[in-house]
Every structure is written in structure tokens, then in C-alpha cells.
């Protein structure tokens, strides 16, 4: 299998860490960004203890200038970005009638506008080299909506609109663009949902449990292979059967 340079945004988080680990173990050079240097250093040490060396660069995906600087730093350290996983994401859950403009824009900037901010600086290089893999990490809640997540569901649904447009524009340049839509996975983000609410949600999952981060990473890695070159514009739902819309 070809070894590539991969940038996974938000790679120090729950699903992000699993994606970084999976791609690294496949032999790719993997980079990610951080905003908190001390926390990132702790994380780097834990990964190094597993034998995984990650190219860590500072960068805020919600800020266009910072995101571009982040991409250029990755290129300088590890070479051109050939695989991009737009994974960084946050929640600011509250019912819409109580939602502030800040809660709306924070979520839209970090989850959706980040796709512009990070992908724009890498796309021209991918087109010139005639090879690229871009994967958006969306959410089940972008597909079905969720009480308390008008901001998040709007941003996550928007990510797939981004995917299917980019897929069309770049198909002839050897670039595939796909979405993975995880359901409720055992990460800090999901564990922050109040326990009684979370228990009711888990009861709706036919498989009967939360997902594991590595179950998401496995699908992301699949989309990044050479063999997946005819899969573009797809949305792969991985949610234990929680939502089966097609």
C-alpha cells in the first residue's frame, strides 16, 4: 500500500486519536493540529509510548489564517497533504429557543467553516498531483436532526453538501471526497450528555451499545485506500443501526 501524508484535524480528540492511530499503523505519516500546547504534549507522549510519532502543529481550524498556516506547517514538516480528514468538531447543545448567536457561530465555524478553511489550502496541490483523499467526519445528527442540536445538525448536514459538491468538481483529478457519519461513539463528547438522556439514546441503538472510536477509524481508512478510487460523494453511516435512512 502507498504511504502518504495525512492531516487529521482534531486528532487529539476521541475519534481523532483513533483515526491518527489507525492511519499511522498503516504506515502513513500523520499530522494533526492543537490549540492547547500543554495538552497536546501529554497526548504526544501517550502516542509515542505506543510507538506512534505524530507531526503536531498549532492551528485553529475555525480561523482561516490559522488553518492555512497549519497546513503550510504540515507541508514543511511532512510533505504535501495527500489525505485530509476534516474531523475537528465541537458541540454547544441547547434547545434553539435558548441558543445564543455565539453558540451557533462557534459550532458552525468549527464544524463546517473549518472544511473551507482547511481544505482550500490543500485542494490545489491535490489537483496538481492528481491524487487525493478527503473525508468529512459528519454525524448521525446531521442526517436525522437532534433535539438540542440545531447548530450542530445544521453544520454536520452542511458537511455532506460540501462533500458531494467537491466530489463532483475533483473526480477527474484522482481525488475522492466522502463523508463518514458516526452515531453515538464512546468519547468525551458523548459522555458529556447527561447520563439519563444518554441512557435513553443508547436504548434506541439496535446493536445495543455505543460505538468504539476504532470502528469509525476503520471506515475512514477504507476511504483513503487506492482501491477505493471509484467511491466518491458517498456518506457512510456507522451508528449501530440507530438511523437507517438512505
CA dist., res. 107 & res. 156, Å (int): 10
Q: In angstroms, what CA-CA distances link 145 with 98, 130, 141, 153, 229?
A: 17, 36, 5, 6, 30
Q: Catalytic one among 22, 101, 147, 152?
A: 152
Closer by beta carbon to ligand CAA, 69 or else 189: 189
Minimum gap (Å) between residue 19 Cβ and ligand CAA: 15
Q: Looking at beta carbons only, is 42 or 96 nearer to ligand CAA?
A: 96
- Of 10 and 148, which CB lies nearer to ligand CAA in the complex structure? 148
Report the nearest approach of ligand CAA to the CB of residue 239 (Å): 8
152 is catalytic: yes
Residues near ligand CAA (CB under 6 A) are: 91, 93-95, 139-141, 146-149, 152, 183-184, 189-190, 193-194, 197, 201
Q: Which residues are catalytic?
A: 152
Amino acid at each position: 500500500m502507498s504511504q502518504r501524508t495525512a492531516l487529521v484535524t482534531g486528532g487529539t480528540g476521541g475519534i481523532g486519536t483513533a483515526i491518527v492511530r489507525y492511519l499511522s499503523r498503516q504506515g502513513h505519516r500523520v499530522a494533526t493540529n492543537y490549540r492547547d500546547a500543554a495538552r497536546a504534549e501529554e497526548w504526544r507522549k501517550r502516542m509515542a509510548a505506543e510507538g506512534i510519532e505524530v507531526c503536531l502543529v498549532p492551528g485553529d481550524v475555525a480561523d482561516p489564517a490559522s488553518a492555512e498556516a497549519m497546513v503550510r506547517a504540515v507541508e514543511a514538516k511532512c510533505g504535501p497533504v495527500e489525505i485530509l480528514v476534516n474531523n475537528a468538531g465541537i458541540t454547544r447543545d441547547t434547545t434553539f429557543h435558548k441558543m445564543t448567536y455565539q453558540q451557533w457561530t462557534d459550532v458552525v465555524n468549527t464544524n463546517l467553516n473549518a472544511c473551507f478553511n482547511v481544505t482550500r489550502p490543500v485542494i490545489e496541490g491535490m489537483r496538481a498531483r492528481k491524487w487525493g483523499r478527503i473525508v468529512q467526519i459528519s454525524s448521525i445528527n446531521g442526517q436525522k436532526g437532534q433535539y438540542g442540536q440545531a447548530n450542530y445538525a445544521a453544520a454536520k448536514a452542511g458537511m455532506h453538501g460540501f462533500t458531494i459538491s467537491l466530489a463532483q468538481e475533483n473526480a477527474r483529478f484522482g481525488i475522492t471526497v466522502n463523508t463518514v457519519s458516526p452515531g453515538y461513539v464512546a468519547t468525551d463528547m458523548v459522555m458529556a450528555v447527561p447520563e439519563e438522556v444518554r441512557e435513553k439514546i443508547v436504548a434506541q441503538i439496535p446493536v445495543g451499545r455505543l460505538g468504539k472510536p476504532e470502528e469509525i477509524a476503520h471506515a475512514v481508512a477504507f476511504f483513503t485506500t487506492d482501491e477505493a478510487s471509484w467511491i466518491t460523494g458517498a456518506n457512510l453511516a456507522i451508528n449501530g443501526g440507530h438511523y437507517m435512512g438512505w
